[in-house]
Structure 1
């Protein structure tokens, strides 16, 4: 029964791979895998574990399925008497690869073959066997993989459970030639050389070098693509995507009016009157905390009052109050302290009449430093609170 089950499993794998013929073809037809490893015999076989040298040749049916024939030489000895035993394992396996487009590709295998053991003393014996296993391949080059695998080997006549592990490389060769592109049709006639075929050119005989539209008619040149014709463009060659004025010269965009150009503004949409840093982020300028502290010193209350005034002026604005720390202390402690700083600011705003529903607070520990944590001044600047409109 076990023989039948293993044979049926091998047939199932081969049938599955044959059904995958419509899958994408791999770049290479064949792979050659030299490997070293070990063979672990079941205890009642009276054999010590041996080492192995193996070679496998595979044919890629598609980018997932490979049919592989292998030969493995086994060197072992008996547990009693120290008699040397040479072995050979012959196998025909079906391999199925997962994630075939990735560098790291797990695979499973199932197969059948023969296991021959030839002791120096006594008769040799050959058993048919079935095997299954799993492994991984990792691409180190376009056609070279590192390979590791583990197999469960089961001789038929006297049923034993053997394990075989192997490490090696897989060299892929026999590169497939890409299918030749279909022959391009003959190009349509273009008498004036403007790139528009004569049968659709509504403006024939345009001068050489003249830019034309899809109908072959002249268009106004705008070499830098800024929307200003070349004959009016005072600032030619502006970078792609750069906003320009009517003369084609760059203009600085600052959508939220905080004084920081949009291309550099990491915190857009700050409300009018908010004081921002050089990143365009709404920071309570000057507010810092002592190391490990969440209490707001009375000296900084006027700074908080300025923010209250902005919030009262912009009643539709909701904000996230975000606390930070320097890099000293553990991550857990810094997270707790940063949340405490943000909560302290929120509670002060509520005490000054800002609706609690307009605010939420959170801590980010030592993330996103704005200054160098290697200096005392830098650490002081990082012990801060920022405001982000929601």
Structure 2
């Protein structure tokens, strides 16, 4: 019989470890806490007696005042999970069968050590009752139990459980399990109840882009997106995901695949050389009002004919900013005299630059960029090129993890890496400076993961 018991337990354990888990949020769970062993259930001959003192912990339960069980489980789909429980206890209360109509006697068999290893197949009823906090369950399984040096046997287990989830991943759990011994006589191994109470922590879910949608449900796991689009972004908010949007940065109707047609000439702006003015297809959407062979988009005097080499007309001050074109470093954009005809950098522009800078991602503890950062850097470079006479400083910051000098070197390297890339994109290097400040200028607490993430940053500032 004992060899059959051991074989049964081995088969149960093997079946659990070979199960193929189905997709689920945070599929792993670990529970730990205290357990209680009650032998009264096998001492009573009648069903009503077996459970008449079910919660009589004072007289019948054996409890260690310490963490005495650990359960590790894995979700396997369709509300089922499989786990393995290891528990220890000390048997100092052993309920003896009563003689005739006499009372049940509780004796100390000698403070015998109790050890058990059990495989547990659990079925959650949480979805059935449509609750997000209360999680009742039923379970079956099998295991092997040792009491002292002389008693050991396999058991067939079953019972009920209840978990209250404080958060999505932390809960308070209770489980009561009836363990039917495979031994024929109680003296070889009594059947008994074992109760478990403790904390349960779920883990294993992955949300790479941090958008609150787990990777398994996220159609765009590397880029933060919206729940209504299965985790994919809709940057311009036109109701078309970026992957299907031919113009992801600018809102447009579905009939043009998300691209706008501002001038209504049926040529979408991205293909329209003159998106603000109706034009002809043969001129890529641009008109030639004065018929001088220079399309209006290139003709600075569309109502007056002029030579092509002079853009269709004289251009003493094309942008009307009172700075003559020969002296204007930004002749097509209105600026100020103090800034050599170029526009002053506004607070909105600086906000755009730093919104982009917040999304610059580096490899861990390195000054090399992650692949998804290059479009961000290119966008920053494009903005800087719009203000060719302005100077900017690139500042690197870290969180407080690690040594001060290492953080200083890392922030220096990262700021310099951003500057170097912008110069490679055509930004004049004499307009840029790079400095690192290590962990000296936090903008958030360094006591939380989110705060540290905020402190690891690159900032762009306008040099005065």
Same fold (TM over 0.5): no
Q: Which has the higher helix share?
A: 2
Higher-RCO chain (CA-CA 8 Å, sequence separation at least 6): 1
Normalized per residue, the structure richer in strand is: 1
**TM bucket by the smaller chain?**
0.3 to 0.5
Q: TM-score, normalised by structure 2?
A: 0.35
TM-score, length of structure 1 as denominator length: 0.41
